[in-house]
Amino acid sequence: MDEKRKECYSGIFNKIDYIEDKIIQIKEQLATLKKGFQNTDNDETCLDAVEAEKALLEIVNEGVIDALLQPKPKGDA
């Protein structure tokens, strides 16, 4: 395999690893949110807190998408 292909595959595998890490983080955050909702014991839920958590998840998701769409700089790795 020539050097250009190795670099190409290396970049792809790095992106896959990055995506996998972000997916794991999002899964953990969702599990934490779900656990929090299950432990409420039907207490009154603060809608502001729920909206804030939703907004945080949206920001994280947008950050992941933006990071995936940005080209990785070539040169120093």
Question: Rounded mean pLDDT of the chain?
Answer: 80
Q: Does residue 57 form part of some domain? A: yes
Q: Does residue 76 form part of some domain? A: no
Least confident interval from 4-8, 25-29, 45-49, 67-71: 67-71
Question: What percentage of the chain has pLDDT greater than the value 90?
Answer: 9
Tokens 């250009």, located at residue: 4
In total, how many domains does the chain have? 1
- pTM of the shown model: 0.47
In this predicted structure, what is the pLDDT of residue 17? 92
Q: Does residue 2 form part of some domain? A: no
Residues 40-52, mean pLDDT to the nearest whole number? 73
Residues 55-75, mean pLDDT to the nearest whole number? 77
In this predicted structure, what is the pLDDT of residue 76? 55
Asked whether residue 10 carries a pLDDT value surpassing 80, the answer given is yes
Q: Does residue 64 form part of some domain? A: yes
Range of the domain at 31: 26-69
